[in-house]
Structure 1
Amino acid sequence: MKSFIIFGIEQAKSCLFPVVIFLTLAVTKFIDIPYIARYDLILIIFLITQVLMVITKMETVDELKVICVFHLIGLALEIYKVHMGSWSYPEEAVTKIRGVPLYSGFMYASVASYMCQAWRRLHLKLSNWPPTWMVVILSASIYFNFYTHHYLYDFRWILKILTLLIFFKTFVYFTVNKRSYSMPLALSFVLIGFFIWIAENIATYFSAWQYPNQQQQWEIVHIGKISSWLLLVIVSFLIVASLKHVKEKRTIKSLNE
């Protein structure tokens, strides 16, 4: 029970950025500040939060670099999806590009923030990690399928099966209260994807964005969206894990020299 409580506390610390996002969405839903559009205000709060997290060393500079990469990846995907009519941001704002507010990239970056912090706080280690080239091809295929499925066949189920096959023997190890635990990496993908789907319902309720069926009245996000978030989690984790793996190899090499 003690380990479970400690695990919960460390998870809560790792979720600081997502918590700030939800609180901001909730507060700005009901409180207006004159002369500042809601989306612009949200962006300002997110930027201040990010700066404070680095200044207080809750996030490292290396983690900030990873988060910035996810911000750009997420923003590019948002612009494309809004253009294709998958969802929309109906409110006006100065900081919008092609109908997408800049704060939207932070929602993807918050996933990276959680992963980086959880990795550090829980001392994550991976066993039986597949070859790097295989991971790169799988990550790229999953990400670009979000774009190409509008025109070509949707390969998401094939990609999921490939993920299970590639990471069948891969386990993630984490330490809580000086004791090591493990779980299949594929299971962690499913769990994170499920909780992001819950978060998505909260976010759409507070009008962070809207799906076409939510424009007249809010409805629960279709459970099938877990499938999309699962794939996004896989891409996110693979990028973070690959960068951690590269950094670890460099550290070992410098120590040997």
Structure 2
Amino acid sequence: MAARSELTRLEAVLDAFADRLLPRVPAGVREFLAFGIKQAWACLFGALMLVAIIATSWLYPADAAVAGNDFLVILAVVIQIGMLAARLETGRELIVIILFHIVGTGMEIFKTAVGSWNYAPGGVLHIGAVPLFTGFMYAAVGSYIVRVYRLFDLRFTHYPPRWLTAVIAAAIYINFFTHHFIVDFRLVLVGLTVIVFFRCRMHFSVHRSRPTMPVLLAFVLVAFFIWLAENIGTAAGAWLYPSQDDGWHLVPLTKLVAWFLLMMISVVLVTFVHKPKPPEPDVPDIRD
């Protein structure tokens, strides 16, 4: 499990409960359950946002006094306040969430202006054509990454210099804007990301085990699940791409490239709040 000092009060209670319960099941099942529980807990903010988007699309009255987009903003704020009040998030996590909100909203304003995608009109809580709930969707990605970092006590070997990752992340963010006017360098940026992180491995704590995996594989896996969530969001009508105006269909798999690059930006933002640390020497677990 994560270091006890890093857990919120509720997480410490759950951690203690898991210590009593999980040893009663076979080791393989125990580690699988612990991994799934931690991942689900890390996804809490994003899952609640996705449920809010789907529920608003299916159940919210079209003629309500408060527009659906505005209602989503209210729900997002309530979710955020609730997580802070219940101490489900730490102060560091809130900083990352705010950073993601700003970065995401800035890109949304530009992308909707050039017609990359569009949102249903209506409401007063928006900037240009961008409903303010969209910033919380990017914040959900940030919330997940920073919570995973803490819950799994992430450590890294061969992590590249942070200044270098920041330069690449800045180039990726700029390219999201400039590719509409000049050459699109996204494949070059993917190549640079692969080169820089090729040797980097992530060490993470499940329950008793501490496996490793290539960081690039983690980028791809998270990008894939964001793509799945994106398909749910577009199917619910929260936003649409121009190709979906005549009928919904799956977002092309090529969109995974954009989400892979977003992962690079996301990780860099998080590492400036949580500095990447090397693995600690193996020590016996006193709870065994």
TM-score by length of 2: 0.83
Secondary structure of the equivalent of 1:119? helix
Whole-angstrom distance in 2 between the partners of 1:182 and 1:120: 16
2:244 to 201, 214, 227: 214
**CA distance in structure 2 between the partners assigned to 1:30 and 1:245 by the alignment:** 42
Give the aligned partner of residue 45 of structure 2: 17
Residue 83 of structure 2: aligned partner: 53
| TM-score (norm. length: structure 1) | 0.93
Partner of 2:171: 141
**1:84-129 alpha-carbon deviations (Å, 9 max, x no partner):** 1000012311111110000000100000000111111111111211
Task: State the alpha-carbon separation in 1 of the partners of residues 250 and 158 from structure 2.
Answer: 38
Length, aligned pairs only: 248
| 2:105 is the counterpart of 1:75 | yes
In the alignment, structure 1 residue 42 sits paired with structure 2 residue 64: no
Aligned-partner residue type, residue 85 of structure 2? I
Over aligned residues, Cα RMSD in angstroms? 1.4
2:154 & 2:193 partners in 1: Cα distance? 20
Task: Name which of 155, 160, 163 aligns with 2:190.
Answer: 160
Structure with a larger share of its residues in helix: 1
1:185 matched residue in structure 2: 215
Q: Secondary structure, in 3 states, of the residue corresponding to 2:211?
A: strand
Q: Distance in 2 between matches of 1:12 and 1:66?
A: 19
Match of 1:252 in 2: none
On the 8 A contact 2:73/2:132 being kept in 1, the answer is: yes
1:112 maps to: 142
CA offset at residue 152 of structure 1? 1.1
Matched, 1:244 2:274: yes
Q: Report the CA distance between 1:31 and its aligned residue.
A: 2.0
Identical-pair percentage: 39
Please, which runs of 5 or more residues in structure 1 have no aligned partner?
249-257
Structure 2: runs of 5 or more not aligned: 1-28, 279-288
Runs of 4+ in structure 1 off by over 3 angstroms are: none
Shift of 1:171: 0.8
CA distance in 2 between partners of 1:116 and 1:178 (Å): 21
